[in-house]
């Protein structure tokens, strides 16, 4: 099982990373993280090249990420809440899934040949709800043909860092196990 984590956190060893580590304990096989802010990915320019042609004209770090997405059995969207949303770098990466949307909606083609599983991990300090971020994450998972299996969150990190939020860590690990089980059934 190959799991690809798209991580929106700027903080190495921060709250999101603690949830990702717990999730990784639950899954089997390889678990690779792409940290959006370090991946050299430009935002979608809406150049509309992908309205007619397969893939994205912009040649940057995203080309490698498309390949990783295509071979992933499970994709995890992991992010801190920034104004109740996924972080800017993760939204930038997500904007490059426009070519998957246009392939399907404009040409009736599949950008990703296979379906996969998807999960969401969110960390928040305690202000504002996670709903907008979760909704966006689910939209991105659909673009990757990933079936959402669940969300785990640590939402009071200002007072209780995710690394000490036992309930959230257990939920993230259980989510990883569920993804592994579902993957085994496929």
Question: Which chain residues interact with ligand FMN by CB under 6 A?
Answer: 9-11, 14-16, 80-84, 123-128, 157
Q: How far apart are CA 116 and CA 4, in angstroms?
A: 11
**Least spacing, CB of residue 64 vs ligand FMN, in Å:** 23
How far, in Å, CA of 165 to CA of 56, rounded? Answer: 40
Residue nearest to ligand FMN (CB): 14
Number of residues that this document lists for the chain: 186
Q: Which is nearer to ligand FMN, 46 or 127 (CB)?
A: 127
In the block, tokens 């040649």 appear at 59
DSSP conformation class of 44 = P
Q: How far is CA 39 from the centre of its chain?
A: 14
Q: Which helix (H) or strand (E) holds 120?
A: strand 116-123
Nearest to ligand FMN of 13, 40 (CB atom): 13
Least spacing, CB of residue 12 vs ligand FMN, in Å: 9
- Shortest spacing between CB 176 and ligand FMN, in angstroms: 18
Cα 40 to chain center, whole Å? 17
- CA 44 remoteness from chain centre: 17
Angle formed by the axes of helices 88-95 and 131-143, nearest 10°: 30
Minimum CB separation of residue 46 from ligand FMN in Å reads 25
Q: How far is the CB of 127 from ligand FMN (least distance, A)?
A: 4
Considering beta carbons, is residue 11 or 166 the nearer one to ligand FMN?
11
- Of 1 and 10, nearer to ligand FMN (C-beta) is 10
Nearer to ligand FMN, 47 or 167 (CB): 167
């Amino acid at each position: 099982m190959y799991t690809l984590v798209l991580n929106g956190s700027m903080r190495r060893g921060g709250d999101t990373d603690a949830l990702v580590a717990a999730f990784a304990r639950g899954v089997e096989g390889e678990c690779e993280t792409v940290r959006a802010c370090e991946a050299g990915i430009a935002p979608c320019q809406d150049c509309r090249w992908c309205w007619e042609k397969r893939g994205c004209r912009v040649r940057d770090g995203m080309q490698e990420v498309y390949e990783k997405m295509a071979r992933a059995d499970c994709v995890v969207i992991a992010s801190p809440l920034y104004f109740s949303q996924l972080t800017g770098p993760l939204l930038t990466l997500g904007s490059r899934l426009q070519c998957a949307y246009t392939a399907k909606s404009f040409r009736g083609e599949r950008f990703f040949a296979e379906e996969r599983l998807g999960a969401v991990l969110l960390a928040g300090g305690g202000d504002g709800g996670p709903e907008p971020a979760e909704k966006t994450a689910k939209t991105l998972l659909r673009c990757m043909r990933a079936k959402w299996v669940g969300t785990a969150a640590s939402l009071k990190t200002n007072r209780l860092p995710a690394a000490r939020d036992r309930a959230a860590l257990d939920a993230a690990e259980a989510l990883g196990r569920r993804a592994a089980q579902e993957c085994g059934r496929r």
